[in-house]
Structure 1
Amino acid sequence: MATERKKAGARQRVVLTPRTSLDDFRNFYWYLDELVDFCRHHGLPTSGPKLKIVARIEKFLKDGKVPVDVPVRKHPKGAKRRGPITMRSRVTEDYKCDDETRAFFKSVIGEHFHFTAHLQQFRRDKQGKGIPITYGELVREWKSEREKRKDKNYKSPLQRTWEYNRFVRDFMADKARNAGKSISEAAHAWNRVRVHEGPRTYAEYVRAGMDTARRTPDAAGSGEAEPGEGDASAGSRRCLVP
């Protein structure tokens, strides 16, 4: 059984077309720009987070119909924050993980603050549903997750669209195999597993013996997470730290 799994896992990634099976689509990793390009060529909406685009394509591959997105309440078009950031300031559509925002969080939370994927997704979930949210709520959510992280068994629930982040986190946490290795080496390891069929996890990387295999041309590349991994329309990679 293990041998059969390994052979299946070695199958190279298929080309994404309207005839691609759901299983093949789900068994391989797709970059955001590939998904958006597919949507454009086949009349599907291209907006929204990557997870939403994936669900849209899955429905299209299943029944051949272009899904109609249900509109959600949004902030008034062009809504922008005015004045300095305070705990009561509304989070508007022009939210950025910039120096000003970082300075605010550090002034309230402390110098140990850093942007996290969890906080970014928490904000997007609220705004995507049209729920007003303040910077104070972001502060409380960050602190809440910080407390959970004190439990050594806790792992933040990264979405499957953030497989790269999860892989790198688990790679760096495996001190027995990877002590002293860099993020760049973790990224090269990710490139080996992302082009093969099957789970794109660190556990699968080890199980399949990729950690002892030599790098191949398929594994070459920058190894960086794709820009806008979580959102087709916007998003700073600085916001996507696990």
Structure 2
Amino acid sequence: MMERPILNTQLDSKTFKEFYYLKEELVNFCRENNLPTSGGKIELTERIAYFLDTGKVLPPTKTKRKASNITVITKDTEIENNFVCSETHRAFFKEQIGSSFSFNVAFQKWLKSNAGKTYRDAIDVYYKILEEKKNSKVKKIDRQFEYNTYIRDFFANNKEKNLDDAIKCWKYKKQLQGHNKYEKSDLVALK
């Protein structure tokens, strides 16, 4: 097995993508090579891989969103295109749902993909999302949160272990070439 290489311009994109790098390392590489530093880990990884392959700069894909100019929201107001979570939206939902309201990821995704539906629909969906979360044993963790996924899977297979054990195994795993999913063989890090 190959040790994790230092992230520099001598690395090929295939090898680069087979190892885990912290977002901080990706941002530093981008700064050192005059690449845009905006975006999440997935976007930075794609930008760096493109640069390693071509020597060219892949511009950021996300554009700045225009702030919402909605000042008053009612249950019958339609959800606007390019929905952006704002303090106006937060205040509306807290008034309708209660102080426990928060913009969870599933709800934000629903709002952003359901322009034209009403805020009444959104409130109904919010309660359904909460109910699904309560009834679901395994919560889906988005791809960019590899550490969280690893720790969850570690404890699902090692209930008798502690967080220090999980972190030791994670540190071992992220140095290896290939995927960063938990495997029983990672327990070798505890010996």
TM-score by length of 1: 0.56
Secondary structure (helix, strand or coil) at the match of 2:178 reads coil
Structure 2 unaligned segments of length 5 or more: list them: none
Q: 1:70 to 1:196 in 2, by over 3 A?
A: closer
1:119–1:138 Cα contact (<8 Å) kept: no
Q: How far is 1:24 from its partner? A: 1.4
Q: How many residues align?
A: 182
Is contact 2:20-2:175 (8 Å) kept? yes
Does residue 170 of structure 2 align to residue 194 of structure 1? no
Larger RCO of the pair (alpha carbons < 8 Å, separation 6+): 1
**1:211 maps onto 2:187 in alignment:** yes
- Counterpart residue number, 2:145: 162
Identity within the alignment, %: 26
Map 1:82-93; keep pairs closer than 5 Å.
Answer: 92=84
Equivalences for 1:1-242 in 2 at 5 Å? 8=1, 11-70=2-61, 72=63, 74-76=65-67, 92=84, 104=94, 108=97, 118-119=105-106, 122=109, 126=112, 137=122, 140=125, 143-144=128-129, 146-147=131-132, 150=135, 156=140, 158-159=142-143, 161-174=144-157, 177-179=158-160, 181-203=161-183, 206=184, 209-214=185-190
- Looking at structure 2, the residues matched to 137 and 49 of structure 1 have their Cα atoms a distance apart, in angstroms, of 27
Question: C-alpha displacement at 1:20, in angstroms?
Answer: 0.9
Alpha-carbon distance in structure 1 between the residues aligned to 2:27 and 2:123: 30
How far apart are residue 75 of structure 1 and its match?
2.1
Larger radius of gyration: 2
Normalising by structure 2, we get a TM-score of 0.69
Tell me, in whole angstroms, the C-alpha distance in 2 between the residues paired with 1:65 and 1:80.
38
